[in-house]
Structure 1
């Protein structure tokens, strides 16, 4: 593979390439502007004129010009006077399209910002604020249904015995299932989405398959999430089937995927089930690596994994890096996202050389995870590769961004979309199994079976409904009767049927961070 497609991702390089304003917070209004700040509708100074200047108005002028330059739908932003909006983040939140998709959802539901220090910590270490268990909100309005989806190894939640499928019925004395006041909803959100460490929360769980309840007190902490779990094989009469749970395309995942595929290759698996039901995305380059490790060189050689498309101001040039646009290949080399992984950048990746892959999906399967599905579906039919999805409709995010730092805040705004080797990339309504029937969406139909998330079994258990359906489809080519897969996405949700004040609807940055496709200037030569 041509080495210009891959560059190591180092924290020190990241901080040197991204700009920060030392000591100036995003709400600093005391520093006088050093550049002209008069606003004229439709006229934009170059964003670099305001970059790194942390006075309130200069930050907003930078955001306005930067959005006009790089936002994918820049011509759909309402141009507002920066001085008319008090806060920097409040102004940024308005710098996006207000258009809707065919189903009536927001066209851009992925626009957010966060402190730069927290962004770097999250992506480099996989660390997030939490209790050691993840959860899914199946129903956001009364009677609510919130279930533990899986736990993180080595955390207090595991020590306390918390398990997948336990239903959260009470937090700190607030009835999670039935409470219907705004104060109660705020309390539930505050407990489920902690904003600081060291806060004790009393959870009452209803155990799987019974009415028994158990109260567990947990303390919020920075939790290092395990992106790759439950790597195993299952013996069948027609060969060994590999399984792995892939939760996040973050920096630590590269080494774990490398080790997992080396193990599976050594087991001579004839098929693979990748459980991505809770994988919201991350680094696009890692999706391109994973595509290669699944399909191998015979299926991916000389093919595009994804061709990146920016707004119409930049038909041939990447506006972030300034380089000529060059398509992403299926990447066959180790990149070195985590410099402490012990593997040198450029080392060849293992591959299984499979002819198909089974991917388990839900509404939490998003962005870079969808890019994997789309990239593999771009392999020509003449090469005989097949993607089978088992589960529910994916979230529908064929878009991505370069995280950009200014004055100690990192901003995430949609800057590109992409198409696969066949030139396809329009899946804003998501991918769904061919027999999916829930909702009013019009997803892209893919070979596979609609199966609901099964909270009565652990992930990786061959009796768990999605995994079991994949194994049965592999042997018989048939699906079980479709089950409802319309459960809401499980990090921040809103329920359109809920009355005001009833629906859990947290909108903190952690939610959107888990559902994204990320590139950085360090991948600049891949553009």
Structure 2
């Protein structure tokens, strides 16, 4: 972690130079003072837009007391953090008060009842909202209560869901609630009298939801539904590709429609599994702020195709090392939606510089920035000296912009059927979602037809044109739609 320490010491040196020659510690500090300095210091060092935020300038404060007094006017660490962000360009930086929950979330462990869902406004233009079940996590409360994909619900604990109350009803600290099911009714759901009570528990989700092979005539087509780029499942992901490889598949469909992102290293591994003929070549490249750029050598910002998974823990000890099972494909098919973000978009974009990338679904989120987790310690890492034990705050600020080998990314999202991404623009039909991994799923069925015939069906117009999806359950988890990198060495 020497590079983290090097840049941290550099910034502290700059800060001391700008301070008064007298002792910088002129008063006893409180936990809030410590937090405020941690927030300022971390963002001053690593924030992607550091030079664009006046309060993050190296010479902004005369001494420590000046900084403490200034930020002491804010009523919470969250308010201090928000005041230092470059909104609206920055849509995704967050601060959390429980870094354990954040770390768990990056590994697919969340407080959840296992019902993953989207929320949609009524077609009639009212403020009413309904939920549709996307899928159910195994071994969860939702599974035990027989919740299934395609169910529609419009009430929680007897209250109609609306634009104004959905966060309180579904995402508060309450661990139990009861949903009221409804009939779809062409987008204006009507209650049908059935209720289901659900309980949130600590739930581990395997992101490799489905891996199977379809035989279509003489063609073997692999299908992988992958719901998060979680590093602790890299070996299982590689095993799925070992099966595809042993079966000699001709084509591959990777379903990322509900995948909000995750680890950049895992995204690189996935791209290397799909291909294999580009080992050592440039996969993606990162742009950090001027301080990071000056502190590290240029090769640190380059991510290359690889033939090996090598993951280490925070102490640098190897926790996984194995050869990648690569398919050597020259074309790939992705199923996508607005829920496909960050690392999902990275894989699509990075591969498009090397092979033909086909997309079926809807325009992706448009998140081309990545983040790191910063802790209140001397080098801003969890294992750093003098980790502050008086709180469990951590920051997940955007620190980099990422692009393919040609320097291209898509901040407005990647569009299926566009010039660079042939395919079909098609949204999910909330009244007919079908079964994931089966041909009854309209998006999968359309993709299989497209592969085998090269034709687009007459149903290619998006089913969502008259509907507005406003939120989904993935956005409420601590990790949300974050693309993150490991600490640089």
- Assess if the C-alpha contact under 8 Å between 1:317 and 1:323 holds in 2: no
Distance 1:424 1:203, change over 3 A: same
Moved more, 140-149 or 249-258: 140-149
In structure 2, the partner of 1:160 is: 145
Deviation by residue 1:199-224 (Cα, 9 ceiling, x = unmatched):
32111123678975521111121121
- Cα distance in structure 2, aligned partners of 1:346 and 1:255: 9
- Cα RMSD over matched residues? 3.2
| 1:300-449 equivalences in 2 (<5 Å) | 300-318=278-296, 325-336=300-311, 345-379=320-354, 385-406=355-376, 407=388, 408-425=392-409, 427-434=410-417, 446-449=421-424
Report if aligned partners of 1:194, 1:220 keep a CA contact under 8 Å in 2. no
Give me the whole-angstrom Cα distance separating, in 1, the residues matched to 2:138 and 2:233: 15
Taking the aligned partners of 2:180 and 2:396, their CA distance within structure 1 comes to 36
**1:86 maps to 2:86:** no
Mapped contact 2:429–2:463 kept (Cα < 8 A) = no
Other-structure match for 1:75: 51
SS in 2 for 1:147: strand
Q: 2:337·2:363 contact (CA, 8 Å) conserved in 1?
A: yes
CA contact (8 A) 1:364 1:395 kept: yes
Mapping for residues 22-41 of structure 1, pairs under 5 Å: none
Between 1:405-414 and 1:326-335, the stretch displaced more is 326-335
Q: List runs of 5+ in structure 1 lacking aligned partners.
A: 1-12, 19-35, 99-105, 380-384, 436-443, 494-506
Whether the 8 Å contact between 2:361 and 2:426 is mirrored in structure 1 is: yes
Residues 272, 279 of structure 2: 8 Å contact kept: no
Task: Pick closer, same or farther for the CA change 1:377–1:445 going to 2, 3 Å.
Answer: closer
Structure 1 residues 458 and 213, CA gap change in structure 2 (3 angstroms): farther
Asked if the contact 2:308/2:324 (under 8 Å) is kept, the reply is yes
- Would you tell me which structure has more strand in proportion to its own residues? 2
- Whole-angstrom CA distance in 1 between matches of 2:442 and 2:236: 26
TM-score normalised by the chain length of structure 2:
0.80
The alignment of Structure 1 onto Structure 2 pairs a total of residues equal to 429
Q: Find the aligned partners of 2:464 and 2:40 in 1 and give their Cα distance.
A: 40
Structure 2 gaps of 5+ residues are 6-11, 57-69, 377-387
> Which residue pairs with 1:235 in the alignment?
215
SS at match of 1:244: strand
The separation in 2 between residues aligned to 1:364 and 1:338, in whole angstroms, is 29
2:280–2:306 CA contact under 8 A, matched in 1: no
- For 1:29, the equivalent position in structure 2 comes to none
How far did 1:489 drift?
5.6
Matched, 1:246 2:229: no
* Per-residue Cα deviation, 1:416-458 (whole angstroms, up to 9, x for no partner): 0122222223x110101126xxxxxxxx852111011244202
**Residue in 2 that maps onto 1:33:** none
- In the alignment, is the contact (CA less than 8 A) between 1:366 and 1:515 conserved in 2? yes
Residues 305 and 328 of structure 1 are in contact (CA less than 8 Å); yes or no, is this contact kept in structure 2?
A: yes
CA distance in 2, matches of 1:465, 1:450: 12
TM-score (norm 1): 0.74
